[in-house]
Structure 1
Amino acid sequence: MKHTNYPYFDFLEFDPEKRANPSERSLWIAEKPEGGTTNENGEVEFTVPFSCQKNENNIEKKQGVDRQLQKLKLTAYGENVLRLSLGEVYPDSPMLSKDLETRRGPLFLEQEEDIWTIRDDATNTKGEIDFAEELISHWSDLLPPPQDALKATFYPKGSSVVSIQDYDQFFPARREAFSLAYITGEEGEIQQTYISIKATHKERFCGTGERFSKMDLSGKTFWLKNQDAQGTNNKRAYKNVPFYISSEGYGLFLHTSYEAKISLADHSSRSVQLLVSEPRLDVFFIGGDSPAEILYAYRQLTGFPSLPPLWSFGIWMSRMTYFAANEVMEICERLRAEDFPCDVIHLDTGWFRTDWLCEWRFHPERFPDPKGFVQELLENGFRLSLWQMPYIAEEAIQLQEARENNYIGPRKSTGLQGGSNFSALDYAGTIDFTYTAAKKWYQDLLKELLEMGVACIKTDFGEEIHMDATYKEMDAKGLANLYGLLYQEAAYEVTQDISGEGIIWARSGWAGCQRFPVHWGGDAAASWEGMAGSLKGGLHLGLSGFGFWSHDVPGFHGVPDFMNSVIPDDLYVRWTQFGVFTSHIRYHGTSKREPYSFPGISEIVKRWWHLRYALLPYILESSIQTTNSGLPVLRGMLLHFPDDHACWHIDDQYFFGDAFLVAPMLTSEDCRDVYLPEGSWVHFFSGKQTEGPRWLKNHKEELADMPVWTKEGAKVPLNPKKVNHTGEIDPEKTLELKIGENFKGIWYWMEKNQFANG
């Protein structure tokens, strides 16, 4: 649809050609409440009238149409969360923590003529409904007065203020936003709901999922619809999360799994606007004195990340794909022989009888003894990770069983596109994880592999499902975004049950998926732009509740030749450095990724791999912190310096745990600008001290080093000796490195401890 520059037709997506026939869809806008009460659950309920509007540029009431009365409910959870809901909310949402109801607190309504006040049991003001008349100095009757409108302000915590108000306009009928609204279809049923939040001219926003965008998202509109993003440099997203953080001291979680649209001061710079494609509206306003506190409260709502096992923090080696057991063993033997530490070997699409034909069974000739193969890997310190997907192929041996038992959603059409378009549409059906029997059937397929000793399942795809299918407990529109959560939960649960270790390797995501780590950033181009886009995605994902995140080093696919373009040496090294300072590090892509395949830089890479293993005690310490706080391992600068305006705009450097400030090299020029916030900073490789705040313009680093600083006085636990894998790390021998005047750089420390080569 072409832009009209009117909210009716652009943000709400009414068809401007159908103005003469407005019966197809109708907009209903909230007016001031007509009644309010505190119910038996300690929630405040309002009776709110909604008036029908004309389908025109000028937004005016449609005459002769009765208003509709709806119930609007406000609920409090703890000290800093308020829930505003219109319509029936999900009674048993998989997105929400199971203990949410234990934190519910009572609210009380006080009604006066000009204002209704909502308080908690400590008499804190939690909300106000404004009935006061606007101050008017009458001069002209040229234009009619504005419509009656709902004006409400909520205070989830202290100074955190969230206002929904209607007067975002040029003149009364030329409105850019509405406080609360819904849209009905031809039969009068509610199809979409809408809310807008007042925005200020200085407000900044972050979050909304794995967004490959600038740090400050103000002035942008996003469709919250999961899809195969096919890279990290576009508006598509594998992981959408209906949650954002505002620099004004609040977060907003839109509790839905349906497609939604969010304008962060874009369609109107005075409003955040949310449109969700379902008949209910359920939003949580989260207050906090810092973004980290807001994230903590969001995780209280949707779940905290669990702690992955220690071995998962080691090096993962993969490509698309290894095809045989002897090929894998040769790679493992060479990694060990050439002193490259490694913990995980990943088999991608080639371990089946036919490449990409997912049947959860090893090829009988190329992998003649799967159990022996897995055990031999384990004896040499390698865990095995396996690729699979949640779709059943037309040629799969399980297809008939899946169809007969409705383990895949029955489809209206069975047409296949053919070939691999990296899409659900290539396959005969989607496993129905809303159906308990189908979930168990899938888990039994994995159970046989896990009992062999397989350590991790790569839960690839899941962003898209067959929309023409019928699913047991949800309609396809409600399931599509939520599918990744149900899929990943199934694989995570059976892995934990069999191995005692909770881990998957996942690509899709939605609210709540952070409970099941680890997630990686998808199919980035092996280019500087792909690396920069990956970092942006990881930063926003960390600001959306996720704690553990990775990316394919040094990018997944070649450019311009998808399968065969040569990876530049400097890109391989710089992406390795970025990976060392990420919660998890995996090498993967469409061509060779093993470091010895890059002889010109393999010794540099080896040194960085050993640094990774030296840092593992610190990474584990930071990871434990991630599981019980609001902090991810890889953190946007604003999480540590929320009052520093520059940090709300920096998307190419980050904090790695508490101690490290990391600025990856994102070009082949070996120099970049770096911002050091307030404090004393020590360069991690040279030991040079610098005072902040300041910009380091054109800061240069040779290929073997990286722009990384630590806080002066930081204490960094390190593993002091070389190992081949994490099983050789002795936690009793961990050393604490204090960063101070006598620190001469990490390479000096490692050489002193006879750790690194070169």
Structure 2
Amino acid sequence: MKKFTFGIPEAIVPSNFCRGLRYDETEVQYNADKVQFKTTARGCLLELPLEDGEEVFGFGLQLKGFNHKGHKLTLRANSDPVANTGDSHAPVPFFVTNRGYGMYFDTARYVEVCCGYGKNKSRPKVENNTIIATAEDLYRKCGLREQTVMSVEIPVAKGVDVYIFEGDSITDIVCQYNMFSGGGCDVPEWGLGVMYRCYARYTGDEVIAMAKYFREKDIPCDIIGLEPGWQSSSYSCSYVWDRERYPNHEEVVQYLRGHDFHINLWEHAFVNSTSPIYETLHDYSGDYEVWQGLIPDFATEEAQQIFADYHRQYLVENGIDGFKLDECDNSDFVHDWSFPNCTEFPSGMDGEQYHSLFGTLYMQTIMRALGDRQTLSEVRNAGALAASYPFVLYSDLYDHKDFIRGIVNAGFSGLLWTAEVRHAKSREDFLRRLQTNVFSVQCLINAWYCEKAPWLEFDCEAEVRELLQTRKTLVPMLKKAFEAYKKNGKPPIRALVMDYTQDAQTYGIDDEYLFCDSLLVAPMTAEERTRRVYLPEGDWCDYWTKEPVRNGWIEVETTKIPVFEKCEGK
């Protein structure tokens, strides 16, 4: 990798908050002179050429798009992306291409990227009057089959550090980016099992009853998650056990731990005036409120210490080893609850920068509270240089195809994503969703608004038991993949194009993925009776039947999730 500085970078950038940063400079073949830079009244602008046939991937957790060639993206933290516009729970200003390089722009601003647009030039007179009757074909017709330009506009800033990574495959490049950020995260084996998040209004007794159900029915469950009802105030948060629903919360924790459950608590970082840490955090918070609560500035040592010390003393040391960090992204399309970009923080950040760094700083704070205790927890926002944090992204959105695309895309950017299961339209919909979830980095059933286990209304308890038992058999494989992630940065789940970068068939496949090092997973939704699956070069067999399967495109019809195993050498 190599760093190139353009203009005068801002002082507040993600790398300054990355505690495990590893910059080992090497020479790169990419000619940085090809990058044109200038400052403008809007900030700064970089332009670089994209060759015909050069495909672009990455830019964080993109639920609506995959290959970004020819698209415009605005990389801003947002919980409600409605189209392929770049808005994301985890926008990351890092991209990779199929031409052997990737670039990371070290900025906390809302970057606007145009991935392959034509520049003004003198063109020959060529008529192009073919009439096309569908929007999809029309915009495909307008796609440029020539060298184009990627523009990267960074608002406010007058410069930026750009890091260039090179490798033979996209996986090689992403590994270097992940190691630059400190390597992949270290996770406990139990965190890779099954998590069940209970109904938000459950009492302590009802949580215990749910735990007994899992054990009595021999349904695997490793982690019980408690939603907002565990707190005396939740919007904003007190971080204090509710006395009515949990009058004996110590007994609930003791029962769960005594029956081999780990415990994960929901929260967000907006601090209610009834919280014991409200007064001490007041001077280390932003000048706006959210839900009448403080916004602690986790970029300050004081705010991190106050928040972490309280969590360690009153929660972690009393048996809690996981947290669900909600509402740390933003919401501009569906709701209007979050803080404005003009918010000022004691660290010197404005609201735009804090939105971009909020999730990362929040994860740091909770890791500080956990100390040497391992976890695999959840977060609603992450961003650049986040690979070393053992937190999995999730969403309030619920389109199954988008969730599958999230699994495929997360690995480009040092992120983890769970296609969690909540409700379903039908028995088949529930089982198809659970199949996908079982083959995710985290197996999470989020029943926060379901009074009973959501599969009971569909009378499919036996199928759920079988699927969750399958998940248990995958845990050793996942644990080994996470060990490699920590050691060399290789994501445990990857898009096909990451390993098979020279195979043009993979450039548009956003609904299949590589799971660990030996499996290829091709989920199906309830609407699909059959689906096409692409198996890259090599020898493959059906994971369920062990029968050999030819590579290339095949048609699959099954009630199981299509999974194929590499069988080289067999």
Contact kept, 8 Å, 1:342 with 1:382, in 2: the verdict is yes
Matched position secondary structure for 1:620: helix
Distance in 1 of aligned mates of 2:557 and 2:33: 47
Match of 1:382 in 2: 261
Structure 1 counterpart of 2:46, one-letter code: I
Distance in 1 of aligned mates of 2:174 and 2:492: 13
Match of 1:272 in 2: 150
Distance in 2 of aligned mates of 1:248 and 1:293: 12
Return the match for 2:166 from 266, 287, 306: 287
Residues 431-446 of structure 1: pairs in structure 2 closer than 5 A: 431-446=296-311
Is 1:195 aligned to residue 46 of structure 2?
A: yes
Instruction: Render the CA deviation track for 1:248-287: whole Å, top value 9, x for unaligned.
Output: 1110100011121111114655111101121222211222
- Summarize the Cα distance change of 1:352–1:88 in structure 2 as closer, same or farther, 3 Å threshold: closer
CA apart distance, 1:100:
3.6
Return the match for 1:457 from 323, 326, 334: 323
CA apart distance, 1:532:
1.0
Distance in 1 of aligned mates of 2:117 and 2:528: 35
CA apart distance, 1:470:
2.6
Structure 2 counterpart of 1:164, one-letter code: K
Match of 1:313 in 2: 192
Same amino acid, percent of matched pairs:
21
Contact kept, 8 Å, 1:339 with 1:606, in 2: the verdict is yes
Residues 340-739 of structure 1: pairs in structure 2 closer than 5 A: 340-354=219-233, 356-393=235-272, 396-398=274-276, 401-402=279-280, 405-411=282-288, 425-447=290-312, 448-464=314-330, 466-467=339-340, 468-476=342-350, 477-497=352-372, 500-525=373-398, 530-546=399-415, 548-554=416-422, 567-589=425-447, 590-592=449-451, 594=453, 597-692=456-551, 694-697=552-555, 699-702=556-559, 705-713=560-568
Contact kept, 8 Å, 2:18 with 2:385, in 1: the verdict is yes
CA apart distance, 1:502:
4.3
Match of 1:94 in 2: 16
Return the match for 2:37 from 172, 180, 190: 180
Matched position secondary structure for 1:428: coil
Matched position secondary structure for 1:710: strand
Structure 1 counterpart of 2:54, one-letter code: E
TM-score, normalising length from structure 2? 0.87
Higher helix share: 2
- Summarize the Cα distance change of 1:554–1:707 in structure 2 as closer, same or farther, 3 Å threshold: farther
CA apart distance, 1:303:
2.4
CA apart distance, 1:568:
1.4
CA apart distance, 1:336:
1.1
Bigger mean CA offset, 201-210 vs 282-291: 282-291
CA apart distance, 1:319:
4.3
Return the match for 2:87 from 231, 236, 241: 236
Higher strand share: 1
- Summarize the Cα distance change of 1:218–1:510 in structure 2 as closer, same or farther, 3 Å threshold: same
Distance in 1 of aligned mates of 2:202 and 2:284: 29
CA apart distance, 1:363:
0.8
Structure 1 counterpart of 2:419, one-letter code: H
Distance in 2 of aligned mates of 1:609 and 1:232: 33
Contact kept, 8 Å, 1:574 with 1:666, in 2: the verdict is yes
CA apart distance, 1:481:
0.6
Match of 1:39 in 2: none
Instruction: Render the CA deviation track for 1:126-171: whole Å, top value 9, x for unaligned.
Output: 6xxxxxxxxxxxxxxxxxxxxxxxxxxxxx24xx556626xxxxxx
Bigger mean CA offset, 445-454 vs 536-545: 536-545
Matched position secondary structure for 1:490: helix
CA apart distance, 1:484:
1.4
Instruction: Render the CA deviation track for 1:47-76: whole Å, top value 9, x for unaligned.
Output: xxxxxxxxxxxxxxxxxxxxxxxxxxxxxx
CA apart distance, 1:408:
2.0
Structure 2 counterpart of 1:432, one-letter code: D
CA apart distance, 1:656:
0.2
TM-score, normalising length from structure 1? 0.66
Distance in 2 of aligned mates of 1:665 and 1:228: 25
Contact kept, 8 Å, 1:230 with 1:523, in 2: the verdict is no
CA apart distance, 1:631:
2.2
- Summarize the Cα distance change of 1:356–1:330 in structure 2 as closer, same or farther, 3 Å threshold: farther
- Summarize the Cα distance change of 1:602–1:99 in structure 2 as closer, same or farther, 3 Å threshold: closer
Distance in 1 of aligned mates of 2:117 and 2:453: 45
Matched position secondary structure for 1:618: helix
Match of 2:137 in 1: none
- Summarize the Cα distance change of 1:161–1:540 in structure 2 as closer, same or farther, 3 Å threshold: farther
- Summarize the Cα distance change of 1:333–1:231 in structure 2 as closer, same or farther, 3 Å threshold: farther
Aligned residues: 530
Distance in 1 of aligned mates of 2:278 and 2:50: 54
Contact kept, 8 Å, 1:232 with 1:524, in 2: the verdict is no
Distance in 1 of aligned mates of 2:251 and 2:208: 12
- Summarize the Cα distance change of 1:91–1:610 in structure 2 as closer, same or farther, 3 Å threshold: closer
Distance in 1 of aligned mates of 2:320 and 2:530: 42
Distance in 1 of aligned mates of 2:522 and 2:278: 52
Is 1:207 aligned to residue 31 of structure 2?
A: no
Contact kept, 8 Å, 1:258 with 1:480, in 2: the verdict is no
Distance in 1 of aligned mates of 2:84 and 2:98: 25
Matched position secondary structure for 2:266: strand
- Summarize the Cα distance change of 1:567–1:310 in structure 2 as closer, same or farther, 3 Å threshold: same
The answer for unaligned runs of 5 or more in structure 2 is 120-143, 331-337
Kindly report the root-mean-square deviation, in angstroms, between the aligned alpha carbons of the 2 structures: 2.4
Matched position secondary structure for 1:579: helix
CA apart distance, 1:355:
5.3
Distance in 2 of aligned mates of 1:595 and 1:91: 45
Structure 2 counterpart of 1:518, one-letter code: F
